[in-house]
């Protein structure tokens, strides 16, 4: 399963990373999610479409900046 990376803006701490992980996980419970806080990137393997990821990130209060 190949991971897809997306840029996320506004993440500044571990709590932000957990919030993004929780939001994407809610949209796709079977996805494997890794957040690179320093790089501002979330990597998702076996996850939902880009539109679903964008919506989840934005609903969590962060900015979606497209594929990384």
Residue with tokens 């990373």: 17
Domains and CATH numbers, the chain: 3-67 (3.30.70.100)
pLDDT at residue 61, rounded to an integer = 97
Helices 14-27 and 50-59, axial angle in degrees (round to 10):
130
The pLDDT of residue 60: 96
Determine the length of the chain: 68
Measured in whole angstroms, the distance separating CA 68 from the mean position of its chain's CA atoms is 11
pLDDT digits (tens, 9 = 90+) for 22-68: 999 999 999 999 999 999 999 999 989 999 999 999 999 999 999 99
Mean pLDDT of the chain: 95
pLDDT of residue 16: 97
Q: Please answer whether residues 42 and 8 qualify as being in contact, where contact means their C-beta atoms are separated by less than 8 angstroms.
A: yes
Question: What number of other Cβ atoms are within 10 A of residue 45's Cβ?
Answer: 13
pLDDT of 47? 80
């Amino acid at each position: 399963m190949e991971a897809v990376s997306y840029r996320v803006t506004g993440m500044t701490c571990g709590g932000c990373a957990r919030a993004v992980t929780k939001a994407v996980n809610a949209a796709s419970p079977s996805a494997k999610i890794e957040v690179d806080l320093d790089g501002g990137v979330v990597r998702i393997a076996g996850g939902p479409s880009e539109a679903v990821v964008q919506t989840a990130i934005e609903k969590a209060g962060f900015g979606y900046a497209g594929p990384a």
